[in-house]
Amino acid sequence: MSLARFVNEHKEAVEYDLLTKTGNSLQDVGRRLNWSALNSIIKNLTPDSALMRELNPDLYNWVQPAKTNALLADIYDILNAINANLCAKGTGKRAKRPKPYPRPVPSKTESHIGTPMPVEELHRRIFGD
């Protein structure tokens, strides 16, 4: 019963994780997927799962690959700068500034779909006034 209650409380996250990690849905529980298997899947979800995002957002944010990649690129840049300074030391020349590690360029395309609707028209469509 406690597993069923837990799943019901976190239905959307559990459903997403089941779909993305196993190809099953909550409708498959009791049919293709038994409750013991569901329990095992939930207990062994990785920190980057949707359920972890819901239960422990700090840990979820910590393990995001994009953040890790950004930190690694920063460390790479700092080490290259230190290396350039050490190589230039004693030569009397200024260190060449190393090229930064390539990072993805943010998209400049707009992220909305369609054209905005005036609030009055939206209100009319929803409430039929």
Q: Within 13 Å of residue 102, how many CA atoms lie on the same side as its CB?
A: 2
Task: Report the greatest alpha carbon distance in the chain.
Answer: 80
CA separation for the pair 77, 69 (Å, rounded): 12
Angle (nearest 5°) at CA 66 between 65 and 67: 90
pLDDT tens digits, 77-86 = 999 999 999 9
Give me the pLDDT at residue 1, please: 65
Q: What is the pLDDT along the chain (129 residues), one digit of tens a residue?
A: 699 999 999 999 999 999 999 999 999 998 999 999 999 999 999 888 999 999 998 888 788 777 888 899 999 999 999 999 999 988 888 888 999 999 888 766 656 667 778 888 877 888 876
User: Is the entire prediction scored with pTM above 0.85?
Assistant: no
Query: What are the residue boundaries of the structural domains of the chain, listed by start?
Result: 2-57, 64-101
